[in-house]
Amino acid sequence: MTDLNGKTALVTGSVQGIGLAIAEALAGAGARIAVHGLAGDSQIDEVCTHLRERGAPQAEFFHGDLRNPNRVDELMEAVAAWGGADILVNNAGIQKTAALRDVTRETWDTILAVNLSAAFHTMQAAMPGMAERGYGRVINIASVHGLVASKDKAPYVAAKHGLVGLSKVAALEYADAGSKAAGGVTVNCICPGWTETAIIEPQVAARAAQRGGDRDAGIADLLAEKQPSRRTSDPSEIGALALWLCSPVAHNVTGVSIPVDGGWTAQ
């Protein structure tokens, strides 16, 4: 079992979906959790209480609008004052599907800001401290669209490909930080395929509408196109992988992008 007692994890977008599942896994291993995301006070309280019940010695919410670099700086300064992130999970992301000719400048700028630029800013702020402590983990949730493309997703695919490239550069620059005993500093991407989260709901709904409102039929139609297993992943499965990447035994796993996609990118 991975022991994260004494470690602090910042997980962006951790009030629901994959981010919450990763926070749950890290909390279960004893990490303090810096919670972040778009939520009202009642949901924030519920999530922080839930994570403490799952094993986190502390779970506190930190504000930060990832569209704005100044707000990202404020987020990272607040987390640094709380003790600093030993584990940084850049999970927050947005998506809007549209043909290339129809993508607005605002859509492009917003998706690139949240899905790519924010990760650059958080990593730049957090990683020097990780190197000083000799242990650090950056886990960027990149999607299969960091490895392959699909139509109608130009900003999202561009951002996720960029996130994979950014992660490789950071992995190389920090590869010799720390030691085997301390755990070292690693940077990796997890690339989920179809996963049961809110971000896929618009696509599921569109396919379901084509199938007379049958949601299961809509999901099956989506998966038949891309994911050979024809099974969705549960967010907890992504959380389990993230937890393993945080273990000392993973000190030499860095600069890689791990698909969790039922064979999608093997085709």
What's residue 230's pLDDT? 87
Give the integer Cα–Cα distance in Å for 203 and 226: 13
Reading the block at residue 98, the tokens are: 């549209």
Give the integer Cα–Cα distance in Å for 52 and 10: 15
What structural domains and CATH numbers belong to the chain? 8-193+236-259 (3.40.50.720), 197-232 (no CATH)
Q: Mark whether 174 is an active-site residue.
A: no
Is 218 in contact with 207 (CB distance < 8 Å)?
A: yes
* CA distances for 198 relative to 45, 97, 142, 163, 169, angstroms: 20, 14, 16, 21, 30
User: Three-class SS of residue 78?
Assistant: helix
The neighbour count for residue 188, using CB atoms within 10 Å, is 24
> What secondary structure does DSSP assign to 164-181, as a single string?
HHHHHHHHHHTTTSS-TT
The neighbour count for residue 224, using CB atoms within 10 Å, is 10
What's residue 202's pLDDT? 84
pTM of the model: 0.94
Active-site position among 61, 62, 135, 156: 156
What's residue 200's pLDDT? 80
What's residue 203's pLDDT? 81
Taking only the tens of pLDDT, the chain with its 267 residues reads 699 999 999 999 999 999 999 999 999 999 999 999 999 999 999 999 999 999 999 999 999 999 999 999 999 999 999 999 999 999 999 999 999 999 999 999 999 999 999 999 999 999 999 999 999 999 999 999 999 999 999 999 999 999 999 999 999 999 999 999 999 999 999 999 999 888 788 888 889 999 899 988 888 888 888 999 988 899 999 999 999 999 999 999 999 999 999 999 999
Residue given tokens 């994959």 in the structure block: 18
What's residue 170's pLDDT? 99
Give the integer Cα–Cα distance in Å for 208 and 181: 51
* Type of residue found at 175: A
